[in-house]
Amino acid sequence: MKSGRGPVSLGTIVHLCVGLFGVQIVWGLQNANTSRLFQSLGADVGQLAVLWIAGPATGALVQPMVGYLSDRTRSRWGRRRPFIVVGALTASAALVLFVHASSLAIAAALLWLLCIGANLAMEPLRALTGDLVPEDQRNRAFALQAAFIAAGAVVSSALPWVLGHALGVTSQPVSGAVPESVRLAFRFGALALLASIGWTVAFVHETPGTASFPGQAALRAARPAAGRLLLRGAVWLGGGTACAFLSRILGLRPELYVLAAFAALYGLSQLWLGGLARRGRHPVGLLQISEDIVWMPPEMKRLAVVQFFTWLGLFTLWVYTVPAVAEHRFGSHDPASAHFHDAADWVGVLYAMYNAFAIAAAPLVARASARWGRNFTHGACLAIGAAGIVGLVTGNPHALPWLPSMAIGVAWSSILSLPYAIVASASPASKMGVNMGIHNLFLVVPQLVGAVILGPLLDSGLGGSAVGALKFAALLFAVGGLTSIAFGAFRSK
């Protein structure tokens, strides 16, 4: 197996993609069925956003740490593969247990475990692609990854519907919990994850001990004085503390404590860095992640803005699609009704459709980015996706949403490929893992924000309408697309 310095074969890229196919089956099952499971166990629609917080919270904690650690791992199996295997085993076990939860608290705890395992497997897979694939093959490699990820989502999204209709397994609630078709789908997903990760681990081999630690001398010479680090730390720590204090005295939603904790933690890390700089010392261990966030490449800083709007929109879409479709297409607001579960199955098919369109769009996205640039292409795809989201909840509620699904699929194909190509191209080889992990913060921070604001926004600003929430998601996609296009125009000057 060659390193990222030379060309790699199509077969090697395919082997890398197979593991992400399995990981996306996990995410696809979770995305399409988590709201259904929580509502079946007694959660109301206003609680869904905070219950979904496990995904973004674990991603924010796990991915940067596993990226940092895998960059520095030395083993006979390579840097990334040990983490990939542990993550797959954890996620597969949690996947099976999740749909058998007997209470809302147990389901929430198992979702946390499931998300930890999936993130633990996913980040090293992305970093491994950056390790092995050279710059001139990255558009193609990440586009192929997008196709495999979309294929995994097609399989996972359609599984409950297929089992419920083709195999005669009931798709209606069982004793107030999820239908048997969903339980069988999650068991199948666990097996598929283990098989696909096993494939990648067996056929993609890293050379032990080839990773080099980053050279920081040139960067440190241009870094700010300790005073700036201390000021930044004080601002973040003070902001987080104030947010927690106001939440307490004003009786605001408890989700705010999560954002407050992350802000305070980042502030403390900056204060620590400032103290080290004042004494002429350099950070060691996991504290270097905080330094890497401050000194990420400019391309990643611009991408962070685009990803904020994109992933806040995606989080809104995933959380509220089931109740929005139940409201718009089936006229149902009752999670215990047969119509609501018919809507949930239908959403699984919808997810399968837009992921199928993402597979078809992947080579077109790669070609467009080669011709017009990654930023412009990504922005245009997000704008197309915004139109598709609006189409889901407007017009004839009984029409099959082929055009909306196609539009969302175009955006999803770009989301799964072009940002990762941007990060890989901007990262030195010795920082590939940690930069991929830091990039994941661009995905999870907006989801944490969504977990805090979407409930109050739904209750007060949107009148409790899940359809209104999806229109808000479309607006966020449009803003993200325009921002990406603007950055692309700025760079071209």
Predicted pLDDT of residue 94:
92
Q: What is the Cα–Cα distance from 69 to 441, expressed in whole angstroms? A: 16
Torsion of CA 52, 54, 57, 62, to 10 degrees: -140
Predicted pLDDT of residue 222:
42
| Neighbouring residues of 406: CB distance < 8 A, sequence distance ≥ 6 | 354, 357, 388
Torsion of CA 106, 45, 183, 350, to 10 degrees: -150
Q: What is the Cα–Cα distance from 45 to 233, expressed in whole angstroms? A: 37
Going by C-alpha positions, the residue among 134, 436, 443, 447 that lies closest to residue 296 is 436
Neighbours of 132 (CB within 10 A): 25
Predicted pLDDT of residue 484:
93
DSSP structure string for 48-78: HHHHTTHHHHHHHHHHHHHHHHHHT---TT-
Find the helix or strand (DSSP H, E) in which 155 lies: helix 135-165
Predicted pLDDT of residue 418:
92
Check: CB of residue 42 under 8 Å from CB of residue 104. Answer: yes
Surface-to-core class of residue 324, CB atoms within 10 Å of its CB (0-12 exposed, 13-18 middle, 19+ buried): buried
Token representation of residue 331: 């006229």
Predicted pLDDT of residue 407:
92
Return per-residue pLDDT of the chain as tens, 493 residues: 344 456 788 888 899 899 999 998 988 888 778 877 887 777 776 667 667 777 777 777 787 888 777 777 777 777 888 889 999 999 999 999 988 887 888 888 888 899 899 988 888 888 888 788 887 788 788 888 888 988 888 888 777 777 767 666 655 555 555 677 788 889 888 999 999 999 999 898 775 544 444 444 444 444 556 777 778 778 878 888 888 787 777 666 666 777 777 788 777 877 877 777 776 666 655 567 777 777 788 889 899 999 999 999 998 888 888 888 777 676 666 666 666 767 776 777 777 788 888 888 988 998 898 888 899 999 999 999 999 998 888 876 566 677 888 899 999 999 988 998 898 888 877 777 778 878 888 887 888 788 777 777 776 666 667 778 888 999 999 999 999 999 877 664 4
Q: What is the Cα–Cα distance from 179 to 170, expressed in whole angstroms? A: 6
**Greatest alpha-carbon span in the chain:** 70
Tally the C-alpha atoms within 13 A of residue 209's C-alpha that lie toward its C-beta: 1
Rg (CA), the chain: 22
Q: What is the Cα–Cα distance from 284 to 438, expressed in whole angstroms? A: 17
Predicted pLDDT of residue 400:
64
Phi, psi of 440 (to 5 degrees): -65, -25
Handedness of CA 295, 58, 75, 148 (dihedral sign): negative
Q: What is the Cα–Cα distance from 147 to 25, expressed in whole angstroms? A: 13
Architecture of domain 10-205+295-492: Up-down Bundle (1.20)
Token representation of residue 348: 């699984």
Tell me the one-letter amino acid at 483. T
Predicted pLDDT of residue 312:
93
Predicted pLDDT of residue 2:
40
The residue written with tokens 């700025």 in the block is 490
Check: CB of residue 282 under 8 Å from CB of residue 216. Answer: yes
Q: What is the Cα–Cα distance from 278 to 225, expressed in whole angstroms? A: 8
| Neighbouring residues of 374: CB distance < 8 A, sequence distance ≥ 6 | 139, 418, 421, 422, 488
Q: What is the Cα–Cα distance from 429 to 63, expressed in whole angstroms? A: 17
Predicted pLDDT of residue 87:
92
Predicted pLDDT of residue 9:
85
Token representation of residue 209: 């001990």
Surface-to-core class of residue 228, CB atoms within 10 Å of its CB (0-12 exposed, 13-18 middle, 19+ buried): middle
In total, the chain counts a number of residues equal to: 493
Token representation of residue 412: 């999803």
Q: What is the Cα–Cα distance from 434 to 440, expressed in whole angstroms? A: 10
Tell me the one-letter amino acid at 21. F
Predicted pLDDT of residue 381:
96
Handedness of CA 49, 52, 409, 367 (dihedral sign): positive
- The model carries a pTM of 0.71
Predicted pLDDT of residue 383:
95
Check: CB of residue 411 under 8 Å from CB of residue 313. Answer: no
| Neighbouring residues of 166: CB distance < 8 A, sequence distance ≥ 6 | none
> Helix, strand, or coil here: 492?
helix
Q: What is the Cα–Cα distance from 229 to 467, expressed in whole angstroms? A: 44
Tell me the one-letter amino acid at 190. A
Q: What is the Cα–Cα distance from 159 to 167, expressed in whole angstroms? A: 11
